[in-house]
Amino acid sequence: MLTLKQSRRLNTLLVGGVSWIVALLLFFPIFWMVLTSFKTEIDAFATPPQLFFTPTLENYLHIQDRSGYFRFAWNSVVISFGATALGMLFAIPAAYSMAFFETKRTKGTLLWMLSTKMLPPVGVLVPIYLLAKQFGLLDTRTVLVIIYTLINLPIMVWMIYTYFRDIPRDILEAARMDGATTLQEMVKVLLPISKGGLASTMLLSLILCWNEAFWSLNLTSANAAPLTALIASYSSPEGLFWAKLSAVSTLACAPILIFGWISQKQLVRGLSFGAVK
């Protein structure tokens, strides 16, 4: 018979052991991608796959002249930040109005916004493609900024709304008593209090924009293609350079991975529309 202390220890050992195994299994593809990015192309294709090899920085050093990495990365940056900034500009006033001037229509509006997310992108692929073509916007960053703003707007409104809802109304009342206008109230009182929430909303939007791969694959080709599209171009048979692919992928995913690690807690709130905190 085990004593209580012994059984506790056994329990910890068992739980810890299984958790570590599961985590290592799930993380393995990422680990393997990073490892492969330091291999030569020959090592990367070796059978059986090599765990030990002479590492090389070759793939990273030549990332620009071999795949024009920075042009795509720049597109990703411009599109993600552009759509996030534009989205915030629309979402903050909307969330403010819903949180502090609630009417009987507010709930319905929030749910309706959420329901626009249910519209599958393929349902509107044809008209969006034709409209973009009509207005000369195919393969421009502008079209992706517009679309990403629109697809993330409901999530941003929701997320900011859940942060605003938690702010005590007295604070705003006080500012109003002092004669602050709506704009002053928003800029001088509301934004400073909720800057943590706004920052995580922006972070979530950046992550979603950076990783979006339906519209970027369908609407861009050479000029405005972001990193998702650059990586998709490696799927063609003539692009079988795994070490190179791994290096490009590692660089493309690293910033978002780090963002994600830092802000896991806040992301939960945004991704669950405030239902889980």
For another protein, the binding residues in 73-92 under the rule CB under 8 A are 90-91
Token output for 154: 């409901």
Q: Are the CB atoms for 248 and 63 separated by under 8 Å?
A: yes
Distance CA 156, CA 159 (A): 5
Q: Which residues of 29-42 are buried (b: 16+ CB within 10 A; e: fewer)?
A: eeeebebbbbbebe
Residues in contact with another protein, counted by CB under 8 A, come to a total of 103
Q: Are the CB atoms for 209 and 84 separated by under 8 Å?
A: yes
- The interface with another protein within residues 230-249 (CB under 8 A) comprises 231-232, 234-235, 240, 242, 245-246, 249
Angle between helices 195-211 and 242-262 (to 10 degrees): 160
- The interface with another protein within residues 23-82 (CB under 8 A) comprises 23-24, 26-30, 32-33, 36, 44-49
Query: Per rule CB under 8 A, is residue 2 in the interface with another protein?
Result: no
Distance CA 149, CA 144 (A): 8
Query: Per rule CB under 8 A, is residue 126 in the interface with another protein?
Result: yes
CB of 222 to another protein, least distance (A): 16
Residue appearing with tokens 């409104």: 157
CB of 132 to another protein, least distance (A): 11
| Kind plus residue range of the DSSP H or E element containing 48 | none
Q: Are the CB atoms for 205 and 87 separated by under 8 Å?
A: yes
CA-to-CA dists, residue 75 to 22, 103, 202, angstroms: 36, 41, 18
Choose which of 210, 225, 244, 247 interacts with another protein (CB under 8 A).
Answer: 210
Choose which of 78, 180, 193, 217 interacts with another protein (CB under 8 A).
Answer: 217
CB of 57 to another protein, least distance (A): 19
CB of 73 to another protein, least distance (A): 12
CB of 139 to another protein, least distance (A): 13
CB of 182 to another protein, least distance (A): 5
Choose which of 7, 61, 64, 121 interacts with another protein (CB under 8 A).
Answer: 121
CB atoms within 10 A of CB 232: 14
Which among 86, 207, 91, 200 is positioned nearest to 141, based on CA atoms? 86
Choose which of 129, 140, 175, 180 interacts with another protein (CB under 8 A).
Answer: 129
Query: Per rule CB under 8 A, is residue 120 in the interface with another protein?
Result: yes
- The interface with another protein within residues 4-23 (CB under 8 A) comprises 11-13, 15-16, 18-20, 22-23
Query: Per rule CB under 8 A, is residue 191 in the interface with another protein?
Result: no
